[in-house]
Amino acid sequence: MTGTRGYPLSYQIAATHSPQAYTLAGRLPAGLVFNPATGLLSGIPLESGLFQVTLGATNTGGTTTLAFTLTSRPALANQSATVPLRQSLNLQIASSESGAGVTYTATGLPSGVVLDPASGLLFGSPLQAGVFTSSISVATGGASAAATFTLTATASSLDLWRLANFGTTSNTGPAADSADPDGDGSSNLAEYTAGTDPNNASDVFKILTAIRNVTSYTVTASGKASRTYVLERREAQGSWIAVASVGPLGISGPVTLTDTAPPAKSGIYRIRVSAP
């Protein structure tokens, strides 16, 4: 007979020839009781393992016995967690068991995530994005239970951008944030933000024209869809102040920003581009 720790269980001894009483020898898991008058075994097992007992049925003709194994499985539910790609994690597989003599297994984890079989702790950091349905088990005292642990490792938009442009989500080598594989002077992180192609030196965020009139200063720059552009100005000893803003752009194309009150003396301008 098999039950699960923490869940109600009942078992009626079946015997022929109208038994008058029943016997049970051996140890039952805590929480189960045996009724010798009715032969009913019932309760909620409070421990896991294999329990060897001997059942007996008695009538006027004598007693018949039967060796019987009661399996009380650990409780182990399907469970899930969502973690960011490459971020370290500490996830405890939840079960009814703890302490010495408990063993966990897990298969199908993303690379970078490992299991401590004694504690059921999943640790490390996922190196693959996606949904991983891991088969998990917990065993103690000869009884075991199986379930699934669904681990979702989510990729950020920057991860997905790296994957699209460099075939990897790893922030290393030519795909590193600080790298400039096309040699256009703009780092990968800057190209991600600007929405430009990190593998094409001619596609880079740049000022196209700058025109100073008597009452205005107008700058055009290469614009990309969904990006926002802010023209900022600084005068001597001053701080940067925003003087014009355009975006988010609906489509890619030149973006025009005008300072309608340029300083009488000199000033420095820059354009800040931001991604959604």
Tell me the closest approach of the beta carbon of residue 187 to Ca ion, in angstroms.
Answer: 6
Burial 47-77 (b: 16+ CB within 10 A, else e): bbbebebebbbbeeeeeeeeebebbbbbbbe
Spatial separation of the C-alpha atoms in residues 215 and 199, rounded to whole Å: 40
Which residue's CB is nearer to Ca ion, number 182 or number 259?
Answer: 182
Tell me the closest approach of the beta carbon of residue 191 to Ca ion, in angstroms.
Answer: 5
Taking CB under 5 A as the rule, which mask of x and - marks residues 124-143 in contact with Ca ion?
A: --------------------
Tell me the closest approach of the beta carbon of residue 179 to Ca ion, in angstroms.
Answer: 8
Residues 140-199 that bind Ca ion (CB under 5 A): 180, 182, 184, 186
Which residue's CB is nearer to Ca ion, number 159 or number 182?
Answer: 182
Which structure tokens are listed for 53?
Answer: 């007992």
**E strands present in 6-78:** 9-12, 21-26, 32-35, 40-43, 49-59, 62-73
Q: What is the phi-psi region of residue 49: left when phi exceeds 0, alpha when psi lies from -120 to 50, beta otherwise?
A: left
Which residue's CB is nearer to Ca ion, number 184 or number 232?
Answer: 184
Which residue's CB is nearer to Ca ion, number 4 or number 165?
Answer: 165
Asked if 222 interacts with Ca ion (CB under 5 A), we say: no
Tell me the closest approach of the beta carbon of residue 246 to Ca ion, in angstroms.
Answer: 23
Residue with tokens 């740049």: 206
CB 16 within 8 Å of CB 64:
no
CB 37 within 8 Å of CB 24:
no
Which structure tokens are listed for 10?
Answer: 């009942």
Tell me the closest approach of the beta carbon of residue 256 to Ca ion, in angstroms.
Answer: 24
Tell me the closest approach of the beta carbon of residue 85 to Ca ion, in angstroms.
Answer: 23
How many residues bind Ca ion, per CB under 5 A? 4
Q: Which spans of this chain sit near Ca ion (rule: CB under 5 A)?
A: 180, 182, 184, 186
